[in-house]
A and B are shown apart, each in its own frame.
Chain A
Amino acid sequence: AQSVTQPDIHITVSEGASLELRCNYSYGATPYLFWYVQSPGQGLQLLLKYFSGDTLVQGIKGFEAEFKRSQSSFNLRKPSVHWSDAAEYFCAVADRSGGGADGLTFGKGTHLIIQP
Chain B
Amino acid sequence: AAGVIQSPRHLIKEKRETATLKCYPIPRHDTVYWYQQGPGQDPQFLISFYEKMQSDKGSIPDRFSAQQFSDYHSELNMSSLELGDSALYFCASSLGAAGNTIYFGEGSWLTVV
Please give the residue numbers on chain A whose beta carbons come within 8 Å of chain B beta carbons, in ascending order: 32, 34, 36, 42-46, 49, 51, 90, 94-96, 98-109
Contact = CB atoms under 8 A, between A and B. Distances in A.
Given A46-B101, A100-B50, A90 B42 contact: yes
Given A101-B33, A102-B97, A103-B48, A43 B58 contact: no
Interface of B: 31, 33, 35, 41-50, 55-56, 58, 90, 92, 94, 97-99, 101-107
B103 A46 contact: yes
A95 B104 CA distance: 18
> Which secondary structure dominates where chain A touches chain B?
loop
Contacts of A36: 104
Contacts of A49: 101
Given A42-B107, A43-B107, 5 more contacts: A96-B98, A99-B97, A100-B50, A101-B31, A106-B43
Nearest to A4: B42
Given A104-B45, A106-B43, A99 B103 contact: no
B16 to A, nearest CB: 27
Contacts of B50: 100-101
Contacts of B92: 44
